[in-house]
């Protein structure tokens, strides 16, 4: 089988799936992406570049659509060149279409099935927008958000089948398209992300922590409101004042992945460090860490904070659960799908640093009493989200869609297995 994976930021969601596909000698695997240093064994990487972005005169509602169109054109050209120069025509395209990469593939290959990763459908009510009562959308915002879904709607129409990682994320998509989207998580590496009673981590500043130390962890790709930075910073101030032996490890970058950017020349973290008084000897902003160091931080953690707007669920939250972290999470979707309060962790009010600090203190004072929550969190990852169980299902779906042009047969088998 000839499989073309497409993601502008290789490997995205496809690191493990792409490798599994490539390990089968019966498959030829190509990965189309923007220029990067990433390489996957036995995968032929093809790069494309987008020479320009939307012009200044573009209506602001349509800037995203113009950028997606430009990106889709370059993907179209790269795929056409693949056929003309290398004789490659895939049996199936597996792609994250959110940036416009797949907009024109059905015009080039109308008979090639397209299996898309549907991560998020924008809404002006019921998801991230309007979640913060201090930042309610205007009518202009609502119109812009409706227009922002142009890309999603074109992708939903063109795709032969899709996958979505959580029930809540799937349910955001228009009901008339949900019949061709399978609920199937990417999977968590529960063998790497596992409890280790002998774990220790040496931070970039030389500080060493071991299992049993009073360590609180907080992880976000970028420190920003979408991942609860204001609540975290205010709670951290209180925790460090009340607990002289506590250290906080904050892992992530000082930028923006989601939501609005801060004023020019500023960062959210920089602004918040000026607003709170933190013992800098006991809060450690490490920046991004190599993956195995990230896992070590989770393994030594006595309590792990994960806060999120109703938005896409971070892998790190579930990896933390797989390591047996004592989870302190926001009472928001889709986090409620993986954490039942008092069973897999403790849920807190996203906007309440007092609630967060109180729950952190309770967690640190009751490590043994709350051990079942750690064990339940780990067990849930083993039962429902183990990558070793889910990757074969993804490959089964790929084979079905490549053969049948849809995933209906797979969906029926999956539902039958779950009902058994």
pLDDT digits (tens, 9 = 90+) for 284-309: 999 999 999 999 999 999 999 999 99
pLDDT exceeds 90 at position 359: yes
Per-residue pLDDT tens for 65-109? 999 999 999 999 999 999 999 999 999 999 999 999 999 999 999
Domains 2-187+387-419 and 200-384 share a fold: yes
Distance set, CA 343 to CA 20, 151, 331, 336, 371 (Å):
33, 39, 14, 11, 10
- Sorted by sequence, the CB contacts under 8 Å of residue 205 that are 6+ apart come out as 284, 286
Instruction: Return d(Cα 214, Cα 246) in angstroms, integer.
Output: 5
- Give the CA angle between residues 347, 290, 15 to the nearest 5°: 85
**pTM of the predicted structure, to 2 decimals:** 0.94
Instruction: Return d(Cα 326, Cα 298) in angstroms, integer.
Output: 10
Per-residue pLDDT tens for 132-171? 999 999 999 999 999 999 999 999 999 999 999 999 999 9
Band (420; pLDDT cuts 50, 70, 90): confident
CB of 184 closer than 8 Å to CB of 386: no
CA atoms lying within 13 Å on the CB side of residue 114: 25
> What average pLDDT does range 115-129 have in this prediction?
96
Which residue, chain included where needed, has tokens 């899709």? 162
CB of 319 closer than 8 Å to CB of 303: no
**In CATH, which of 3.40.50.2000, 3.30.110.30, 3.40.50.720, 3.30.70.120 is domain 200-384?**
3.40.50.2000
CA atoms lying within 13 Å on the CB side of residue 200: 7
Instruction: Return d(Cα 379, Cα 175) in angstroms, integer.
Output: 32
**In CATH, which of 3.40.640.10, 3.30.565.10, 3.30.43.10, 3.40.50.2000 is domain 2-187+387-419?**
3.40.50.2000
pLDDT exceeds 90 at position 260: no
Band (418; pLDDT cuts 50, 70, 90): confident
Domain-by-domain residue ranges, the chain? Answer: 2-187+387-419, 200-384
Provide the percentage of residues in the chain whose pLDDT is more than 70: 100
* Pair type for strands 283-285 and 303-306: unpaired
């Amino acid at each position: 089988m000839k499989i073309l994976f497409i993601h502008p930021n290789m490997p995205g969601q496809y690191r493990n799936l792409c490798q599994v596909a490539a390990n089968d000698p019966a498959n030829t695997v190509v990965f189309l992406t923007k220029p990067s240093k990433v390489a996957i064994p036995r995968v032929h990487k093809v790069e494309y570049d987008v020479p320009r972005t939307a012009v200044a005169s573009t209506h602001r509602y349509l800037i995203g659509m113009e950028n997606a169109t430009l990106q889709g054109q370059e993907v179209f050209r790269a795929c056409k060149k693949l056929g003309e120069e290398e004789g490659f025509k895939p049996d199936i395209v597996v792609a994250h279409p959110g940036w416009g990469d797949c907009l024109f593939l059905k015009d080039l290959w109308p008979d090639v099935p397209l299996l898309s990763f549907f991560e998020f459908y924008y809404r002006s009510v019921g998801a991230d927008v309007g979640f913060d009562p201090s930042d309610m959308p205007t009518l202009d915002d609502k119109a812009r958000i409706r227009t922002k879904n142009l890309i999603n709607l074109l992708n939903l129409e063109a795709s032969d089948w899709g996958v979505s990682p959580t029930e809540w994320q799937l349910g955001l998509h228009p009901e008339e398209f949900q019949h061709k989207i399978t609920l199937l998580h990417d999977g968590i590496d529960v063998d790497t992300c596992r409890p280790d009673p002998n774990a220790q981590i040496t931070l970039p500043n030389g500080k060493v922590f071991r299992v049993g130390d009073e360590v609180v962890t907080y992880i976000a790709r970028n420190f920003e409101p979408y991942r609860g930075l204001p609540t975290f910073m205010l709670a951290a101030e209180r925790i460090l004042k009340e607990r002289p032996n506590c250290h906080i490890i904050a892992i992530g970058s000082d930028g923006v992945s989601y939501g609005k950017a801060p004023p020019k020349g500023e960062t959210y973290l920089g602004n918040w460090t000026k607003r709170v008084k933190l013992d800098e000897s006991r809060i450690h902003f490490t920046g991004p860490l190599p993956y195995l160091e990230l896992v070590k931080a989770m393994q030594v953690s006595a309590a792990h904070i994960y806060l999120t707007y109703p938005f896409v669920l971070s892998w790190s939250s579930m990896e933390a659960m797989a390591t047996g972290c004592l989870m302190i999470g926001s009472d928001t979707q889709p986090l409620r799908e993986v954490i039942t309060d008092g069973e897999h962790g403790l849920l807190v009010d996203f906007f309440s640093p007092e609630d967060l600090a109180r729950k952190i203190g309770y967690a640190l004072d009751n490590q043994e009493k709350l051990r079942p929550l750690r064990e339940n969190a780990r067990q849930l990852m083993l039962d429902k989200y183990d990558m070793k169980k889910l990757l074969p299902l993804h490959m089964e779906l790929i084979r079905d869609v490549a053969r049948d042009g849809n995933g209906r047969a797979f969906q029926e088998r999956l539902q039958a297995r779950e009902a058994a």
